[in-house]
Amino acid sequence: PQAKVVFMPLLGGVLLSLSALAFPLILGSGSSQMTDIYELSFRKDKLNPGFWFATAFMKSLALGISKGSGFVGGVIFPMVFIGASFGI
């Protein structure tokens, strides 16, 4: 039981870190990142819709990993971020 207390957050942190290398917008609660995706959506060289779907999927995965690993935090702002990513 003691090994699980240490191993699960360690594994979750490693998985989240590797995911964040490819998708840095998945870090944090999502409230400040919504400003970033709003500003990116109005640029002339707007990223394709596949990027936004992948970001929403990765944020969902990151939320599940963090909750499953025992990290603290809520689910409201990450869910709003996921909705905003799908809405762009």
Q: What is the pLDDT of residue 45?
A: 65
Assess contact for 23 and 55: CB atoms under 8 A.
yes
What totals of helices (H) and strands (E) does the chain contain, helices first? 4, 0
Q: What DSSP element (H or E) covers 48?
A: none
Closest CA to 29 of 56, 63, 1: 63
Assess contact for 12 and 65: CB atoms under 8 A.
yes
Assess contact for 75 and 15: CB atoms under 8 A.
no
pTM of the predicted model, to two decimals? Answer: 0.82
- Taking only the tens of pLDDT, the chain with its 88 residues reads 677 788 999 999 999 999 999 998 888 888 788 887 788 777 766 667 788 889 899 999 999 999 999 888 888 888 888 888 887 6
Single-letter code of the amino acid located at 26: I
% of the chain exceeding 70 in pLDDT: 93
Q: What is the pLDDT of residue 44?
A: 61
Closest CA to 17 of 27, 31, 7: 27
Q: What is the pLDDT of residue 4?
A: 75
